[in-house]
Structure 1
Amino acid sequence: MKEMDYVWHLRAKMAEQGMFATTDLQPRLAERGVSLSREQTYRLVTGHPQRLSMSILIALCDILGCTPNDLIEPRIVEASNQKVAGETLSPKSRVTARRTTINRPGTTP
């Protein structure tokens, strides 16, 4: 099975343009009609966005003078469905049981 992933190069592209703070990007986005809060801009630059609107992507490409291919590098990884003897499970695939307590109004635990 193949797993799809990508590498987000926004921070590197910003550095190539001399922009080293997320606050450098916010007014330039606003000039292009993209209104993001300080926190949203920070997450866009430092994180790994799962959803990205086309207007933001186009604005970023315009600001940085690049193409979407320069910002997003797809990665395809072959993943095995079979567990090999002695192999440990990744933290994502571990399932842990947790006891749940339901407290109803008017009753004391």
Structure 2
Amino acid sequence: MTTTVAYHWHLRTLMSEHGMHNTTDLVPLLADRGVVMTSTQVYRIVTGEPERLNMRLLSALCDIFACTPNDLIEPYVVATSTRRRKTAAEAAPAPRAASKNRPRRATVTATDES
């Protein structure tokens, strides 16, 4: 069984709840906590869903918004699938019609050169 897990990133919502509507408002607050990021980097983290997250950044965000990581990240299951084996009928390719332009198989013969 295969389970795919994804997550919802709620940084934009938390910022809005705290009256922050510009991503640049977050840059000095992060810098005060030792996390130096450019405004472009902060914009990407706020507007997108980051694939990787530095623990210092996560700690700083939790401190700024007085929240826990659970408030920022909400995991959920996308899909669950089971692998099943193919039956003989599914595994065998369908027979092809013979083509009249099919090449002939080459045969290699030994020549006696003495």
Which residue in 1 is equivalent to 2:68? 67
Which residue in 2 is equivalent to 1:56? 57
CA distance in 1 between partners of 2:13 and 2:82 (Å): 34
Percentage of matched positions with identical amino acids:
56
Pairing 1:77–2:78 present:
yes
- Does the residue aligned with 1:3 lie in a helix, a strand or coil? strand
Deviation digits for residues 15-38 of structure 1 (CA, Å, limit 9, x no counterpart): 110001101100000000000011
Alpha-carbon offset, residue 76 of structure 1: 1.1
The CA RMSD over aligned residues, in Å, is 1.2
Q: Which amino acid aligns with 1:25?
A: L
Which residue in 1 is equivalent to 2:17? 16
Q: Which amino acid aligns with 1:16?
A: E
TM-score (norm 1): 0.71
TM-score (norm 2): 0.68
Which residue in 2 is equivalent to 1:46? 47
Structure with bigger gyration radius: 2
Which residue in 2 is equivalent to 1:106? none
Deviation digits for residues 9-56 of structure 1 (CA, Å, limit 9, x no counterpart): 000001110001101100000000000011100001001100001000
CA distance in 1 between partners of 2:18 and 2:63 (Å): 12
Q: Which amino acid aligns with 1:24?
A: D
Aligned length: 82
Unaligned ranges ≥5, structure 1: 83-109
CA distance in 1 between partners of 2:25 and 2:79 (Å): 38
CA distance in 1 between partners of 2:67 and 2:30 (Å): 15
